[in-house]
Copies of this chain bind each other. A is one copy, B any other.
Amino acid sequence: MADNRQKLTKIALSKVQKAGLRGLSFRTLADEVGIKSSSVHYHFPEKADLAQALIEQYSAAFTSQLETISAGGGSLMRKLSRFMDVIESVASSDSVCLCGMLAAELESLSAENRYALKRFFADMEDWLAREIAAHQAELSTSLEPHQLAKVMVSGVEGALIVGRVHGSTEHLAAQRTVLANLLRFEDRT
């Protein structure tokens, strides 16, 4: 099985989204894949290397989804609704956004990890701001696209984390509703 590396990142991703990087041990991870912990070290010498791989993989997948949304066209509200769909898809099974989780563990991350994290959030914000700016004509708000984008980034990350405590997705749902209202559109599309 040469795809153990993929199995490792797949299982690690899910685990970190639930328990955090510190909640993941090389031993448990190895057990679940069916290899030894030393073999995990072969693929990822240090834990920071594993974290880095996770962030990059996650970011790439996320960016790809955003690009698909952009390419799909439609109104801003339609795009933002799709955006919320993407966010909502991680909320199931006691998981939060990988990068939101790692952001909480910031203090124990390597410099490289931190930089990758920054980029993730900056990319999300940029995408949102770009879409908002592109549709500004449709809007009756005077707010800066980047300010709105920052609020949305904070909002969804916070909603995932806080929502999990309550075991509900109401916080994300509220985000949707208020967002739609803020931009003076009707709910959903």
CA distance A105 to B171 in the complex (A): 18
Residue tally, chain A, CB below 8 Å to B: 49
Shortest beta-carbon contacts, A-B, top 3: A158-B158, A104-B104, A154-B158
Say whether chain A's binding surface is mostly helix, strand, loop, or mixed: helix
Closest partner residue, chain B, to A100 (CB atom) = B161
Within 8 A of B (CB), among A14-63: 18-20, 22-23
Q: Is the CB of A182 within 8 A of B178?
A: yes
A150 to chain B, nearest CB (A): 4
Q: Is the CB of A153 within 8 A of B171?
A: yes
State whether the Cβ of A151 lies closer than 8 Å to any Cβ in chain B.
yes
What residues on B are CB-neighbors of A158 within 8 Å? 100, 153-159, 161
Q: Knowing that A20-B20, A158-B158 are A-B contacts, what are 17 other residue pairs whose CB atoms are under 8 Å apart, sorted by A's residue number?
A: A19-B107, A23-B108, A100-B161, A103-B162, A106-B164, A143-B181, A147-B177, A147-B178, A150-B175, A151-B159, A151-B174, A154-B156, A155-B155, A157-B158, A157-B162, A158-B159, A158-B161
